[in-house]
Each structure stands twice: as structure tokens, then as C-alpha cells.
Amino acid sequence: MNGIRIDKWLWAARFFKTRSLATDAVSGGKIKLNGAPTKPARDVKIGDKLDVFNGETRWSVVVLALAEKRGPAAEARLLYEETAESVAAREAEQARRKFEHEPATEIHGRPTKRDRRQMDRLR
């Protein structure tokens, strides 16, 4: 196997739950192949560097193996190696989120009538 589509590899490596989510992420610029934005049909080869931005989590990985089928998580972890800088940054971000509360995470759309009355009482 010479190469595999990037969206298929991301799905097989379990970065995304479905292949369509992986395709949308690649199309949306959330995935960088060797530092440059790419398209879903682009082939990934062994040794390529991927920067994956999935919501609040960021990974910087090097492709070690290719897989077309999605397997168990233990096998998926063997497809890539995360860089040391990426591990340190991800753990620091995780610790920050544990101790710092982000107030905007609880806001979902417009306030309800009950929410508005509570805000008026606080003022």
C-alpha cells in the first residue's frame, strides 16, 4: 500500500467517530498535512506529519502505519506516534481546563425567560 486517503486514515486511527466527520474536518482546515492545509482525497504516507485540531484538543502526530479498516483502539494507537511537544501541550491544556472554569461552556443559545429573570434579579 503506497498511500491512503487522509479522511479514511483519520477515521481508522480513531481521531473521528465517523468518516464524514473526518472529511468535514479536513475540508474545514482543521487538519494540516506536513504544515499545509489539505483536501480529503489527499494521500497520507508513512512518515508524514499531521496536525489535528478536534474541538479543544490538538494533536501533532507522525504517521507510522496505514490502515483502511477501523480496528480496535489498541491497534489504532499503533498507526501514529504523537510528538513530545504535542503530549506536553495537551496535558497542560487538560490541567488548565481542570482548574479553570470557562463560563461560556454552559451557555447554549438564547437565554430562556427563566434565565432572563435570573439575570434581571442579579442586576
Residues 60-110 have pLDDT tens digits of 999 999 998 999 999 999 999 999 999 999 899 888 888 887 777 677 788
What are the boundaries of each domain within the chain? 4-102
Q: Which secondary structure element, helix H or strand E, spans residue 80, and what is its range?
A: strand 80-82
Model pLDDT, residue 1: 65
Residue with cell 494507537: 77
**Cα(114)–Cα(14) distance, integer angstroms:** 40
Q: What is the pLDDT of residues 30-59, one digit of tens each?
A: 999 998 999 999 999 999 999 999 877 889
Residue 80 makes CB contacts below 8 A (sequence gap 6+) with: 13, 50, 61, 62, 63, 64, 65
Of 7, 29, 9, which Cα lies nearest the Cα of 20? 7
Return the CATH fold of 4-102.
Answer: 3.10.290
